[in-house]
Amino acid sequence: MKDNVYAIIGSDLFLVESEVEKMIQKLKVDPFNILSYDLDELELQEFLQEITTVSLLSDRKVIKVKNPWFFYETREDDLSQLIRYFQNPKSDTTLIFMLTKDVDSNTLVSREAKKYIRFEHLEALDKKDFPNYIKSYLEQFKYHIEEKAIQELLERVNFEFHQLFNELEKLRLFAYDSKKITLQDIKLLVPRNIEDNLFELTSAVIQKNKKKALEVYYDLIVKNIDPIIIISSLSTRIKDTITTKHLLQKGFSQQSIADYFNVSFGRAYYMVKNANDQNLVILERHYAALAELDYKIKSGQIEKKLGFELWLLEGFDAKKPL
């Protein structure tokens, strides 16, 4: 097997790119000698010319390749030059193919590649693996991150790897001098997931926390979320709370409720808490009041932003009519 031609395979491109970045860090290659190509955009012959051209510089270079279609399909292109390169790669070049699915062993290139190049399969990250991944990723750049900051970051990106990767890059730039990422940095720089905002608004309403409800509401408005969407989402979540209350009365556990709504165990905890914190009659009044507000807005009786703000300010106790 050659030590300078790789195929890195993972279900998420950002996970693959992250692994490739770790490899490049170990190689200690000058950033000016790192080249990236996308074979959905570049002709194969141009790519082959690049990897086979003798460099006039003695420095080592790395070539990263996205969408290497020849591992999956057969086209009319002549691939003999590529196969010869696999057999005898340039010693001053590390070639890395980035794949988001396994190769098709029926293609000529795949069959030949397995004889000569190194294949690495990356496992998708389980939620419990994310904290260690974040630490490991930052440690390669000599950064430290607080434990509480990790948890807050994961809550805000909702374990979405693409968003996590982007936020880590932003945090690295922000903490470039100190090399320390704190909880306060996360709160300052990483926006909350809109779904989290809506869930937080529901909890504030149910727990009669008017100040918090207004704070979250205005945060959503700043993000250009239409009040109609906020009202609809709040109604849905209050209805889910009513359903949760009924499920609890039937003996459902927190895990069963998580399965029923297809949410995380942690999210189910707060759904159960909200259901236990509020009287069923009050929840039903909230739901009916929001349905009436929605009707008044859509029939032109009240402006949507004003209508919802009045509901928060005047009808928050679910007793006063709008």
The pLDDT tens digits for 97-155 are 999 889 999 999 999 999 999 999 988 778 888 999 899 889 989 999 999 999 989 98
- Domain check: are 151 and 51 in the same one? no
Domain boundary among 150, 170, 189: 189
Q: Is residue 214 part of a domain?
A: yes
- Domain check: are 198 and 310 in the same one? yes
Token pair, residue 171, equals 């945090």
The residues, ordered by sequence, that sit 6+ positions from 252 with a Cβ below 8 Å of its Cβ are 260
The type of residue at 15 is L
The residues, ordered by sequence, that sit 6+ positions from 313 with a Cβ below 8 Å of its Cβ are 210, 214
> The CATH number of the domain where 99 resides is what?
3.40.50.300
Residue range(s) defining the domain that contains residue 36: 5-121
pLDDT at 171 exceeding the cut of 60:
yes
The residues, ordered by sequence, that sit 6+ positions from 202 with a Cβ below 8 Å of its Cβ are 234, 237, 238, 241, 274
- Domain check: are 10 and 97 in the same one? yes
Question: What total of structural domains would you count in the chain?
Answer: 3
The residues, ordered by sequence, that sit 6+ positions from 133 with a Cβ below 8 Å of its Cβ are 125
Q: Is residue 322 part of a domain?
A: no
Residue with tokens 């970045």: 21
The whole-angstrom separation of Cα 205 and Cα 62 is 55
Domain boundary among 121, 139, 160: 121
Of 102, 156, 103, 138, the C-alpha closest to 18 is 138
- Domain check: are 46 and 99 in the same one? yes
pLDDT at 319 exceeding the cut of 60:
no
pLDDT at 321 exceeding the cut of 50:
no
Domain boundary among 142, 171, 189: 189
Its pTM surpasses 0.75: no
